[in-house]
Amino acid sequence: MNFQLSEEQQMLADSAKRFVRDNSDVEKHRQNKKLMPLDAATWQQFADLGWLAVPFEEAHGGLGMGPLETMVLLEALGEGLIMAPYIATVVLGGGFLRQASAAQRAETIPALLEGKLQVAFAAEEYERVFTLENTAMAADLKGSEVVLNGTKSCVMNGDQADLLVVLARTVGQPGDQDGLSLFLVDANAPGVERVAHRTVDGRQGAEIRFNQVKVSEAARIGELNGGYAIARDVLHEGLLALSAESVGSLSVLLNETVEYSKTRQQFGMPIGKFQVLQFRMADMFIAMEQTRSLLLAATLKTVEGHADAAKAVHAMKAQLGRAGRKIAQEAIQIHGGMGMTDELGVGHYVKRVTGVDGLFGNADVHLMAMARSA
């Protein structure tokens, strides 16, 4: 057992930390009160730093790294509340594209690596509690073509994406793992209608409506009706990345709260001297460390292919929801009125952490998935 970063991982961590020191997005969170175009300059910087290449094989022009390196990078980005849609395009999008046909890969991965392609995973649906198998949107077979009809909700980066990875049901009922298929759909294809929206965490997404959208066989990822296993593996890498990013954000919430409590004076002393607040900050610290432990557990088990890796991922996303809620709520409470303002960074981190719990199944959903996967 060894929890030390390799030399390569340390370099990645250092470069990410340097970036975050110079580029915190807290101010951007505060200023963006309407829909914004993609910050192309930052994205180009990501490409130049080699970050877009992290999870791709060297044969595809990538760096041949995996979830551990993604974890190291994302944790640092989370500390700076960096909004660039890395998880949507590189982790989820890239994860699916790696599973795509040789022709699809050749068409998309080089562009992605250059920073010229944005991707989004269209998975969630309105009024359906998210799990992959609960997907209902229909894809009907018409000869060799497939026709998509229905609506995907809260597609992160869906407003900016050039390419959509759509999870749809080709046979069976919601609840069945069999019968799900994955399709690559041009975001500007006829019949695709997008309603862009902001999300609570300062990011953006879209409702995406599919109206008789025709997709050729060549645009499918994996087997017909056999999309579940691919979707699960890619989603789990996405959840690992989301958790790593959130651990970075949670550590900032903890540190800023502790620092604030040392300087804010009431009743002639720093509020950090009140034992009731000390104990709650101690609990925040414990919750933070437990989350970090599960992040390591889930990431290492996934990388090494342990049989209980999926269970650990569910445990981690559940912990993220629960610890995130607790840390966020305490951070506001201990900041008093200041914690409720748009002015302080704390509120923006709170909003991100709160939003993250709602995405791809909240704590309850993942605890239930964990119970069922036992």
Q: Which helix (H) or strand (E) holds 229?
A: helix 227-263
Please tell me what DSSP assigns to residue 337. Answer: G
Q: Which of residues 263-292 bind ligand FAD (CB under 6 A)?
A: 264, 266-267, 271, 274, 276-277
CA-nearest of 243, 94, 252, 120 to 186 is 120
Q: Which residues contact 259 (CB under 8 A, 6 or more apart)?
A: none
| Region near other proteins per CB under 8 A, out of 94-102, 237-245, 264-272, 307-315 | 264-272
Computed over its alpha carbons, how large is the radius of gyration of the chain?
Answer: 21
Instruction: Convert 55-75 to b/e letters by CB count within 10 Å (16 or more is b).
Output: bbeeebebbebbbbbbbbbbb
Which residue, judged by CB position, is nearest to ligand FAD in the bound state?
336
Q: Which of residues 223-252 bind other proteins (CB under 8 A)?
A: none
27 is a site residue for other proteins (CB under 8 A):
no
The pattern of x and - marking residues 301 through 330 that bind other proteins according to CB under 8 A reads ------------------------x---x-
Closest distance of CB 278 from other proteins, Å: 12
Closest distance of CB 117 from other proteins, Å: 24
279 is a site residue for other proteins (CB under 8 A):
no
Identity of the residue, 50 or 274, whose beta carbon is nearer to ligand FAD in the bound complex? 274
Q: Tell me the C-alpha distance between 84 and 150, whole Å.
A: 28
Q: Which of residues 69-98 bind other proteins (CB under 8 A)?
A: none
- What distance separates the 2 farthest-apart alpha carbons in the chain? 78
Q: Which of residues 67-106 bind ligand FAD (CB under 6 A)?
A: none
Q: Which two tokens stand for residue 2?
A: 């060894």
28 is a site residue for other proteins (CB under 8 A):
no
Please, which residues bridge with residue 120 across strands?
164
Sign of CA dihedral 91, 124, 135, 368: positive
Closest distance of CB 371 from other proteins, Å: 9
Identity of the residue, 71 or 363, whose beta carbon is nearer to other proteins in the bound complex? 363
Of 84, 168, 298, 334, the residue at the interface with ligand FAD (CB under 6 A) is 334
Of 69, 79, 201, 237, the residue at the interface with other proteins (CB under 8 A) is 201
In the block, tokens 């990345």 appear at 241
25 is a site residue for other proteins (CB under 8 A):
no
Q: CB 303: neighbour CB atoms within 10 A?
A: 16
24 close to 83: Cβ distance less than 8 angstroms: no
Q: Which does 153 bind (CB under 5 to 8 A by kind): ligand FAD, other proteins, none?
A: other proteins
Q: Which helix (H) or strand (E) holds 94?
A: helix 94-98
Q: Tell me the C-alpha distance between 137 and 130, whole Å.
A: 13
Q: CB 207: neighbour CB atoms within 10 A?
A: 18
Closest distance of CB 274 from other proteins, Å: 7
The pattern of x and - marking residues 115 through 134 that bind other proteins according to CB under 8 A reads ---------x-xxxxxx-xx
Closest distance of CB 264 from ligand FAD, Å: 5
Q: Tell me the C-alpha distance between 155 and 174, whole Å.
A: 19
Q: Tell me the C-alpha distance between 12 and 66, whole Å.
A: 12
| Region near ligand FAD per CB under 6 A, out of 11-19, 141-149, 306-314, 334-342 | 334-342
Binding site for ligand FAD (CB under 6 A): 264, 266-267, 271, 274, 276-277, 333-334, 336-337, 340
Binding site for other proteins (CB under 8 A): 33, 124, 126-131, 133-134, 136, 153-154, 174-175, 195, 197-201, 205, 207, 265-268, 274, 276-277, 325, 329, 332-333, 336-337, 339-343, 347, 350-351, 354-355, 358-365, 367-368
